[in-house]
């Protein structure tokens, strides 16, 4: 065993590599995920203006939930659940070592744990080893009238189009294995969350959405309201993508139409979320809370906030030029030209060669040719 510190929690963890069969583990690669969760809860505490009841339904070592209890001022109670008794024993010991008094522990199936606590929790975290799809309805049941929800998916291959049949089976959506595959995967995941919450007359609006190499992460606010649930559901639509020239757009209704640039049939992906996937305002408040204590977190949030200014899917400069047989310009030169002509231009976290812009694709190709 070795002792490590994350946030304000000291925890003893087993040495060695993480394996899927290991149900009690601390994953250092997920610290950014947890840091962002803590900041989001701190912002939500001010919005809710009340004490927060939190739940981690698949807690494993319990590090995320215990950080909530230690670092968030208005956490009244945090319920830490994992089916594995060894995981809960680890969490109980860590809670005792860190003098945490407001934690409760249970060893139940996650769906049973959530379903028996109907409308109880103001924050719920679902972080499985694989797909979260199996827990979304139970999560919706357990969410209070206004709640913050955090969902992680590690089945990025199906969502990104590597295993399209698996994505259709799990999420009821067709993915897209192209340059924008990760953003399309995020939007498919969001649509699945929205549909699950809508079934329980609750809305779900994403406020933080991002992709990393081995996982997707969505955080959003849910409200009990048939009207708002309907509005959320109405934001589900499709993505149209031209595999020949790279043209892409989001639409509410699927259309059997051709690309307006090269007259090739569009490939359709979805159903998926067509609205904003990041809240400029909410992330701005998170950045204020962070006070730049952790540079990686601050830099990442600032990147998310900047790219939130553009709704349309991102562009990959190298892929655009490859598909259209164009010389690749320097991105800085392209950005200067876009901004000079009144368009937005921001880097995206999805790809090193990617960027967000509100320019239409035909005009973008024209500018690239001119540079």
Mean pLDDT by 10 residues, the chain (371 residues): 89 69 72 96 94 97 97 97 95 97 98 96 97 98 98 98 98 98 99 98 98 96 97 96 97 87 96 98 91 75 96 97 97 97 97 96 97 88
Q: What is the DSSP letter of 256?
A: -
| Domains in the chain: ranges and CATH | 2-281 (3.40.50.150), 297-370 (3.30.56.70)
Query: What is the distance between the alpha carbons of residues 347 and 357, in angstroms, rounded to a whole number?
Result: 9
The span from the CA of 135 to the CA of 112, in Å, is: 10
Q: Are 274 and 237 in contact (CB under 8 A)?
A: yes
- List, in sequence order, every beta strand (DSSP E) within 37-195: 52-56, 75-81, 103-106, 121-126, 143-153
Residue 263, pLDDT score: 96
Please tell me the predicted confidence (pLDDT) of residue 20: 53
Quote the CA–CA distance of 166 and 144 in Å, as a whole number: 32
Please report the pLDDT score of residue 246 as a whole number. 98
Indicate left, alpha or beta for 148 from its phi (over 0: left) and psi (-120 to 50: alpha): beta
């Amino acid at each position: 065993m070795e002792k490590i510190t994350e946030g304000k929690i000291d925890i003893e963890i087993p040495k060695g590599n993480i394996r899927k069969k290991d149900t009690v583990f601390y994953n250092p690669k997920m610290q950014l995920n947890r840091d962002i969760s803590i900041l989001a809860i701190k912002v939500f505490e001010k919005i809710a203006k009340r004490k927060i009841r939190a739940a981690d339904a698949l807690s494993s070592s319990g590090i995320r939930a215990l950080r909530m209890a230690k670092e968030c001022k208005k956490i009244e109670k945090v319920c830490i659940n994992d089916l594995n008794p060894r995981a809960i024993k680890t969490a109980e010991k860590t809670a005792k070592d860190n003098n945490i008094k407001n934690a409760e522990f249970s060893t139940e199936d996650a769906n049973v744990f959530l379903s028996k606590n109907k409308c109880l929790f103001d924050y719920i975290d679902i972080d499985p080893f694989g797909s979260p799809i199996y827990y979304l309805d139970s999560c919706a049941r357990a969410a209070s009238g206004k709640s913050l929800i955090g969902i992680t998916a590690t089945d990025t291959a199906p969502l990104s189009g590597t295993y399209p049949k698996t994505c259709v089976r799990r999420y009821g959506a067709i993915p897209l294995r192209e340059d924008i595959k990760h953003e399309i995967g995020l939007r498919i995941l969001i649509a699945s969350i929205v549909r699950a919450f809508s079934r329980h007359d609750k809305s779900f609006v994403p406020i933080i959405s991002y992709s990393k190499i081995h996982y997707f992460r969505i955080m959003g606010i849910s409200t009990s309201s048939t009207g708002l649930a309907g509005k959320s559901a109405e934001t589900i639509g499709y993505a149209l993508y031209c595999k020949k020239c790279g043209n892409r757009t989001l639409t509410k209704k699927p259309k059997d139409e051709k690309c307006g640039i090269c007259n090739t049939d569009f490939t359709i992906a979805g159903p998926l979320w067509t609205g904003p996937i990041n809240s400029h305002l909410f992330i701005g408040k998170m950045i204020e809370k962070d006070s730049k204590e952790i540079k990686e977190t601050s830099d990442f949030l600032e990147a998310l906030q900047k790219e939130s200014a553009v709704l349309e899917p991102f562009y990959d400069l190298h892929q655009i030029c490859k598909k259209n047989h164009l010389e690749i310009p320097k991105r800085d030169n392209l950005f200067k030209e876009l901004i000079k002509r009144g368009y937005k231009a921001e880097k995206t976290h999805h790809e090193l060669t990617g960027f967000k812009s509100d320019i239409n694709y035909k005009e973008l190709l024209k500018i690239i040719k001119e540079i």
